[in-house]
Amino acid sequence: MSFQKKSQKKSQKKSSKNFTATYVLFGIFVVLAIFVVFFERPWTEPKISSKNGVKPAIASFDNGSIQKIELKRVSSDVVLSKQNGTWIVSSKNNAPADTTSIDALLNEIPVLKDGALSSQNPNKQEALGVTENSGLSVSLFGINDGVILKLFIGNRGPTFDSWYFRVDGSNDVYLANASARSNFDKAEWRDLTIISINKDQITEIALKSKNGKIALKKENALWKITEPIASDADSSQVVDILDALSPLKGLSFVEDENALKDIDLENSEKVSKVWLKNSSESAPSNTAQTTTIYFIEANENTIYAKLSHSSNLYSVALATRDAFFKDIETLKKKEGVTPENIEAPSNP
């Protein structure tokens, strides 16, 4: 009996020690949780502390001084450079660049000077997407490839319109608010302009589709239908066609080399054509004295567009193609109603 009592007492002491250790560990966990909740505040947007009112070290520059822009990810590089004063995409066979997008990028950078300091911890940079391996690096170069500025564009921030960025050489990570991240991160930097015309210089238009051909000609500043009938044209309808070419833009480039395989551009029923004649010898750089725009129906939901003198192939919206091919009744000038055409009401 004495042995059993001693054994029970030892067991009770051991159990009591285990409970005590558990309570201690639980207490430590609660203290740590309270510390995180009240001091780290993980759900709130990072704020600048009173001692860290540092603003991003973003150098001021004139947009015209920028000669090259490099946008790099681990998986891809884009190089934009000036050639004889014109922006090109060097990484895409020197294709003309979308200057509107380049201007938007350059104009966005000064806005970043108002960024709010979020972190100075180098160990957080990878998670915030502001390193060479995790983010998008944006480098601006001046004359002789001198680096003017290098930024890392990171992940989205705690709000929809916020995102992180860091200036190269600094551990300070900032949060940009109400700023357009998309101005830096684009899928396409090439100019998607298929053609841009001076509509006042176009003197003849021919529209050919599976529904037939319609030809128009400008005579003494007035448009006339010459085929399939002879008639005055509704000038507002012709202007709509010309406006659609000033400029005509694609949705994207078609990179598939076999996209037009086995398609006869001149005779296939899948191809509609807009033929233009320009009266000026000094035609725009991306058009000739005569130009044909081919619209190819790849399938019921996909339309391609191609110029006769260019190898570029673009995808366009179905509505873009259909805007050109009006029926003859729509293009004919509507005769005005005159009193002689109005029948007098019959007497009751």
160 and 266, same domain (yes or no): no
The whole-number pLDDT of residue 40 equals 44
Tokens representing 65 are 């001084």
Q: Which of 183, 216, 240 is the endpoint of a domain? A: 183
The whole-number pLDDT of residue 55 equals 83
Q: What kind and span of H or E run contains 298?
A: strand 290-299
Helix (H, G, I), strand (E, B) or coil at 235: helix
Are 197 and 246 in contact by the 8 Å Cβ rule? The answer is yes
Number of separate domains in the chain = 2
The whole-number pLDDT of residue 279 equals 76
Distance from chain centroid for Cα 339: 55
Are 130 and 154 in contact by the 8 Å Cβ rule? The answer is yes
208 and 89, same domain (yes or no): no
Tokens representing 21 are 């250790």
Distance of alpha carbon 244 from alpha carbon 256, whole angstroms: 26
* Phi, psi dihedrals of residue 220, rounded to the nearest 5°: 55, 45
215 and 321, same domain (yes or no): yes
**pLDDT in single tens digits along all 348 residues of the chain:** 444 444 444 454 445 545 455 655 556 665 555 544 344 444 444 444 433 567 888 988 999 999 999 999 988 899 999 999 999 999 999 999 999 999 999 999 999 999 999 999 999 999 999 999 999 999 999 999 999 999 999 999 998 889 999 999 999 999 998 678 899 999 999 999 999 999 999 999 999 998 899 999 999 999 999 999 999 999 999 999 999 999 999 999 999 989 999 899 999 999 999 999 987 654 455 545 899 999 999 888 899 999 999 999 999 999 999 999 999 999 999 876 444 444 444 444
201 and 324, same domain (yes or no): yes
**Which tens digit of pLDDT belongs to each residue from 245-302?**
999 999 999 999 899 998 999 999 999 999 999 876 544 555 458 999 999 998 888 9
The whole-number pLDDT of residue 30 equals 53
Q: Which domain does 292 fall in, by range? A: 193-331
The whole-number pLDDT of residue 335 equals 76
Name the residue among 248, 114, 132 with its Cα closest to residue 193. 248
Helix (H, G, I), strand (E, B) or coil at 273: strand
Residue 216 lies in a domain: yes
* Phi, psi dihedrals of residue 320, rounded to the nearest 5°: -65, -45
233 and 257, same domain (yes or no): yes
Helix (H, G, I), strand (E, B) or coil at 6: helix
Are 154 and 173 in contact by the 8 Å Cβ rule? The answer is yes
Whole-angstrom Cα Rg for the chain:
34
Are 272 and 222 in contact by the 8 Å Cβ rule? The answer is no
Distance of alpha carbon 29 from alpha carbon 47, whole angstroms: 26
Are 71 and 153 in contact by the 8 Å Cβ rule? The answer is no
Q: CA dist 28 to 23, 33, 245, Å?
A: 9, 9, 71
pTM for this predicted structure? 0.72
239 and 285, same domain (yes or no): yes
* Phi, psi dihedrals of residue 287, rounded to the nearest 5°: -145, 155
157 and 208, same domain (yes or no): no
Name the residue among 136, 188, 138, 148 with its Cα closest to residue 67. 148
List the Cα angle 62/63/64 in 5-degree steps: 90
304 and 220, same domain (yes or no): yes
Are 238 and 331 in contact by the 8 Å Cβ rule? The answer is yes
